[in-house]
Structure 1
């Protein structure tokens, strides 16, 4: 697939993007994840499996505090 001036893989204009979404929906072209996105999702799952329930709770409390701190 051709890339834009900054390396983007999707069209910048609205009509071109709509056409591409339609082609993905009908199966004419396949929407593939990048290798980094695939590895990132695997890494997050593996990290979650390794954490203890206590550590997960600490992380969740810190995240909630950060969200509500605003």
Structure 2
């Protein structure tokens, strides 16, 4: 996950001072996003499993219905883009 940075000041002199402070290690260039890293990891792990588990538990007839509906939606979108109004 990308780390948030400190907000950069618009004033060039203040920006130069901040960059100098970051370069010398006086200021850490990172802002706390307030999220618990363990909760983020747990949510990601569940998300990675979700699609596979769902595919295993769905009956093949239902998976075919879902696939047909998705294909119809894709083709409808493509044909609508090609038709001149």
Paired residue for 1:61? Answer: 68
Unaligned runs of 5+ in 1: 6-32
Which fold has the larger relative contact order, with Cα–Cα distance below 8 Å and residues 6 or more apart in sequence? 2
The Cα shift of 1:35 comes to 3.1
Larger radius of gyration: 2
TM-score, normalised via structure 2 length: 0.42
What is the distance in 2 between the residues matched to 1:44 and 1:38?
12
Instruction: List structure 1 segments (4+ residues) > 6 angstroms apart after TM superposition.
Output: none
User: Shift in Å at residue 40 of structure 1?
Assistant: 0.8
TM-score computed with the length of structure 1 as normaliser? 0.50
Q: How far apart are 1:52 and its partner, in Å?
A: 0.6
2-side partners of 1:54 and 1:62: how far apart? 13
Stretches of structure 2 that go unaligned for 5 or more consecutive residues are 6-39, 78-85
Structure 1 residue 44 displacement after superposition? 1.2
Root-mean-square deviation (CA, aligned residues, Å) is 2.6
Q: How many residues align?
A: 43
Residue in 2 aligned with 1:50? 57
Query: 1: distance between equivalents of 2:44 and 2:69?
Result: 25
Equivalent-residue separation in structure 2 for 1:39 and 1:45 (angstroms): 11
